[in-house]
Amino acid sequence: MAPREIIVIPDPRLKLVSEPVAAVDREIRRLADDMLETMYEAPGIGLAAIQIAVPKRIITIDLARKDEPKTPVVLINPEIVWRSEETSTYEEGCLSIPEYYEEVERPAQCRVRYLDLDGKPQDLDCDGLMATCVQHEVDHLNGVLFIDYLSRLKRERVMKKFTKQAKREATA
């Protein structure tokens, strides 16, 4: 296992639509392992493969607190097959938009269908933070970031800040 570098906005790869995984093989399990390690090191509660610059439809999630046993979940080719009418609002953050947090309203519950690490189809009913996190991660697979739900003013302000920072780092 090895942690990998997390890409940040305005990296254009974050806008890519990731490709489905054709077969859950050793290479995919290795990638999932690296994603978990990267997520724990960050630390974050979720990670999409595109955040380590791999455009494949894989996400990892672990909502366990630091003082609790790890509960890693790997979802391959996840598809949200049901969303509740009821919504909830969470203050979201993203490892690809470091240290920026805003409230986002999303369906409060959802059901996600995916392949597990054995390639076996699974359904998972989600609510609370899990529902928010699953939707945040599946959005990444479609090139969507949580700032895309904010006002244009807020989104452009944060994009500008990170674009400036990237330019400073490029010329430093």
Could you give the residue numbers annotated as active site? 137
- Taking the C-alpha atoms of residue 155 and residue 167, their distance in angstroms, rounded to an integer, is 18
Tell me the number of residues near ligand GNR by CB under 6 A: 17
Residue type at 67 in one-letter notation = D
Restricted to residues 128-167, the positions that interact with ligand GNR (CB under 6 A) are 132-133, 136-137, 140
- In terms of Cβ atoms closer than 10 Å to its own Cβ (0-12, 13-18, 19+), residue 120 is exposed
Instruction: State phi, psi for 166 to the nearest 5 degrees.
Output: -65, -40
Write out the H or E segment, with its range, that includes residue 100: strand 97-107
Distance CA 53, CA 55 (A): 6
Task: Please choose which of ligand GNR, Ni ion, none residue 108 contacts, taking the beta carbon within 5 to 8 angstroms, the exact cut-off set by kind.
Answer: none
Binding part of the chain for ligand GNR, among 9-17, 45-53, 117-125, 152-160 by CB under 6 A, reads: 45-53
Q: Does 6 bind Ni ion (CB under 5 A)?
A: no
Among 36, 62, 74, 90, binds ligand GNR (CB under 6 A): 90
User: Out of 48, 76, 110, 141, which residue is the one contacting ligand GNR (CB under 6 A)?
Assistant: 48
Region near Ni ion per CB under 5 A, out of 34-42, 91-99, 108-116, 164-172:
91-99
Report the residue number, 46 or 78, with the smaller CB distance to ligand GNR.
46
Q: If binding is defined by CB under 5 A, does position 94 make contact with Ni ion?
A: yes
92 binds, among ligand GNR, Ni ion, none (CB under 5 to 8 A by kind): ligand GNR
In sequence order, what are the beta bridge partners of 109? Answer: 127
User: Closest CB to ligand GNR belongs to which residue?
Assistant: 44
DSSP secondary structure string for all residues of 12-53: GGGGSPPBPPS---HHHHHHHHHHHHHHHHTT-SEEEGGGGT
